[in-house]
Structure 1
C-alpha cells in the first residue's frame, strides 16, 4: 500500500520547514505554507539561493502567529494583523501579483540578519497570485505550484547513486510518500490522499537550492545531488527533474499514514540517460584562468562556485541559469553545461550552470555601474 510518510510546511519561503502529522488543504496550498516571503524593497523575491543562511532560521506556529528563531536564540513573533493593508506589487519568477508589507520591526529583524535592506511580505487572505498554467488556481509564495510530492523510494534510489549523504528535506517537499516503486510517480496524473484529490501538473525542475546542507547552509561537494540527477533525470530541454508539482481540486485535510489512491495515470516523461562510467564522477583538477590570474579548480563544481571559494565575486541572482547575470566569456577550453541555456552566443556562458571539462580561460564581463 502507498501511504503518506511525512508532511511539511514552510511558513516563510526559504526558511526551515515544520513537520506535521496532519495538514489542512486550503486555497493556495497547505495552511500556513509559504504565506510569508522576504523580498527586495521593490517586491522582488529573495530566497536561500542567494542567501543560504536563511535555511538555518527555524519557524514555528504559536497561537496563530509565526515565530522565527535564529541560532543565537533570538526570536521574533509575526502577527498577521500587523501587516500594512495596502496591496503592493510583488514578483516571484516573473509572476506579478500583490502582497502586504510587514511593519518596520519585522523588516529590521531580517535586514539585520541579511545585512541589507529587505522586507517581509504576507500573501494575505485574498490571494491575487495564480499558477501560470492554471489561472483559476491560487498559489502562495511557492516557486510555481501549491504542492510538491516526493517518493521515498525515488529518494533512496538517488542516494544509492550519489556520493554525498543527502537529507530528503533538501528537496523541500510538502508531501512525502512510501510504498511505491522508484519513480512510479512519473506515470501518475490524478491521485487522492485522504479526502483531497490532487492533479499532478508536471515534474519539478530542480535548482542549486537542493545542493545546500539544510543544517549548515553549506553547499555539498561536487554540486550534489544535481550532479548525480543530471545523468538520469535530465529532459530534452536540459531541465533536471525530481518530485512532482501538484494542485488540489478541493479543500480538506491529509494525515500521516493516509493511503494514496492512483485515480488516473499518464505516460511518463522521457529522460536522457548518460550514466558515468562505473558510476564515478570525474574528480580531476584543472586550472581556471582569468585576467592574468589562475586558480586551482576541479571538474565537479560550477565555475561560479569555484570563483566564490577563492573570494572572487561576480554578479549573480538566480544561480539556476535564468537571470543571465553571471555570464562570462569562455576564451579557451571546454565546459559541461548543466542546462541548454547555459551556453550563449559569442562564447558567452553562465558561470552558475557550467562545469569545466579541463583547463579553461575565461573573461569576466564588466557590468555597468
Structure 2
C-alpha cells in the first residue's frame, strides 16, 4: 500500500521545518507553511541559497506566534498581529505580490544574525500571490506551488547512486510517501490523500539548496546530490528534476498513514540517461586560464568548482545549469557539457555545468 510516511511544514522560508502527524490544507498550502520569509528591504526574497546559515534556525509555531531560535539558543517570539497593516511590494522568482513587514525589533534580530539589513515578511491572511500557471490558485512564499511530494523509494534510489550521505530533508518536501516504486510519481496526474485531491502540476526543478547539509549548513562535496541526479534526472531542457509540485482541489486534512490513491495517470516525462563511464585512470590534469590567472585543473570537476577551490569567485546561484548567472566566455579550448543548456551561443558556457576537456581559457 502506498501511504504517507512523513509530513512537514516550514513556517519561515529556508529555515528548519516542523514534522507533523496531521496537516490541514487551507488557501496557499498547508496551514502555517512558508507564511514568513526573509527579504531585502525592497521586498526581494532571500533564501538559504545565498545564506545557508538560515537552515540552522529552528521554528516553533503556536496560534498566532512563531518562535525562532538561533544556534546559540538566543530566540525571539514573533507575533503576527504586530506586522504592518499596509500592503508592501514583494517578489519571489519574478512573481510580484504584496505582504506585511515585521516590527523593527524583529528585523533587527535577523539583520544581526545575517550581518545584513533585512526584513521579515508575513504573507497575511488574504493571499495576493498566485501560481504562475494557475491564476486562481493562491500560494504562500513557496518557490512556485503550494505542495511538494517526495517518494521515499525515489530518494532511496538516489542515495544508492550518490557517493555522499543524504538526508531527505535536503529536498524540503511537504508530503513524503512510502510503498511506491522508484519514480512511480512521474506517471501520476491526479491523486487522493486523506480528504484531499491533488493535481500534480510538474516535476520540481532542483537547485543548489539541495546540496547543503541541513545540520551543518555546509555544502556537500562535488555539488552532490545534483551531480548524481544530473546523470538520470536531466530533462530535455537541461534542468534537473526531483519531486512533484502539486496543487489541491479542496481543503481538508492529511495524516501520516493515509493511503495514496492514484485517480488519473499521465505519460512520464523523458529524462536523459547519462551515467558516467570515467574512472580514476581517465583523470587528466589541465590548465584553466581565467582573466590572466592560471590554475591547475582537471577533466573531472566543473569549472566553477575548480575556480572556487583556488579562491576565485564568479557570480552563481543555482549551480544546476538553470539560472545562467555563472556564464563565462570560452575563448580557447573545449569543454564537456553536463546538461543540454550548458553551452550557449557565441561561445558562452555555464561554469557550473561544464568540465574542461583539456587546457581552456575563459573570461
**CA distance in structure 2 between the partners assigned to 1:281 and 1:221 by the alignment:** 21
1:111, 1:119 within 8 Å by CA — same for their partners in 2? yes
Matches within 5 A, 1:183-202: 183-202=183-202
SS of the equivalent of 2:346 reads helix
Deviates more, 1:303-312 or 1:102-111: 303-312
The range that moved more, 336-345 or 55-64, is 336-345
Deviations 1:269-290 (A, max 9, x none): 1111112228999765543321
- The count of corresponding residues between Structure 1 and Structure 2 is 363
Structure 1 Cα separation of the partners of residues 360 and 216 of structure 2: 31
Structure 1 residue 59 displacement after superposition: 1.4
Task: Tell me, yes or no, if the aligned pair for 1:161 and 1:279 is still in contact at 8 Å.
Answer: no
Assess if the C-alpha contact under 8 Å between 2:232 and 2:274 holds in 1. yes
CA separation of 1:352 and 1:115: change in aligned 2, threshold 3 A: farther
1:151 matched to 2:151: yes
Task: State the match for 2:246 in structure 1.
Answer: 246
Q: Could you tell me how far apart the structure 1 residues matched to 2:282 and 2:198 are?
A: 41
CA spacing shift, 1:183–1:91, aligned 2, 3 Å: same
- 335-344 or 167-176, which deviates more: 335-344
Deviations 1:117-148 (A, max 9, x none): 11111111110111111111000011110000
Partner of 2:4, secondary structure, is strand
SS in 2 for 1:198: strand
Confirm or deny: 8 A CA contact 2:187 2:268 kept in the other structure.
yes
Contact in 2 for aligned 1:26/1:251 (Cα 8 Å): yes
CA RMSD of aligned residues (A): 2.1
- Post-superposition shift, 1:317? 4.8
Does the C-alpha gap of structure 1 residues 243 and 323 become closer, same or farther in structure 2, counting only changes over 3 Å?
A: closer
Return closer, same or farther for 1:341/1:90 CA change in 2, 3 Å cut-off: farther
3-state DSSP class of the match of 1:247? Answer: strand
Task: Give matches, 1:1-369, under 5 Å.
Answer: 1-277=1-277, 286-299=286-299, 301-317=301-317, 319-363=319-363
CA contact (8 A) 2:321 2:353 kept: yes
Q: Where do 4+ consecutive residues of structure 1 move more than 6 Å?
A: 278-283
The separation in 2 between residues aligned to 1:168 and 1:277, in whole angstroms, is 27
Kept in 1: contact 2:222–2:305 (CA 8 A): no
In 1, distance between residues paired with 2:15 and 2:219? 16
Structure 1 46/5 Cα, relative in aligned 2: closer, same or farther at 3 Å?
same
Find the residue that maps to 2:138 and give its secondary structure.
Answer: coil
Following TM superposition, by how much is the alpha carbon of 1:102 offset from its aligned partner in structure 2, in angstroms? 1.2
SS at match of 2:218: coil
Equivalent-residue separation in structure 1 for 2:283 and 2:82 (angstroms): 52
What is the rounded CA distance, in whole Å, between the counterparts of 2:117 and 2:50 in structure 1?
14
Partner SS, residue 135 of structure 2: coil
Once the two structures are superposed, residues 99-124 of structure 1 have per-residue CA deviations (whole angstroms, 9 ceiling, x without a partner) of 11111111111112222111111111
Residue 354 of structure 1 and its aligned partner are, at CA, apart by 3.2
Instruction: Check whether the contact 1:50–1:318 (CA below 8 A) recurs between aligned residues.
Output: no
Report the CA distance between 1:299 and its aligned residue.
4.6
1:207–1:5: structure 2 CA closer, same or farther, 3 Å change rule?
same
Q: Secondary structure at the match of 2:361?
A: strand
Say if 2:230 and 2:339, in contact at 8 Å, map to a contact too.
no
**Partner SS state of residue 139, structure 2:** coil
SS at match of 1:23: strand
Structure-2 separation of matches of 1:251 and 1:350: 43
Conservation of the 8 A alpha-carbon contact between 1:302 and 1:352: yes
Alpha-carbon distance in structure 1 between the residues aligned to 2:284 and 2:163:
16
Summarize the Cα distance change of 1:161–1:320 in structure 2 as closer, same or farther, 3 Å threshold.
closer
Aligned partners of 2:282, 2:174: CA distance in 1, in Å?
A: 34
Q: Are the equivalent residues in 1 in contact too, given 2:239–2:321 (CA < 8 A)?
A: no
SS in structure 2 at match of 1:158? helix
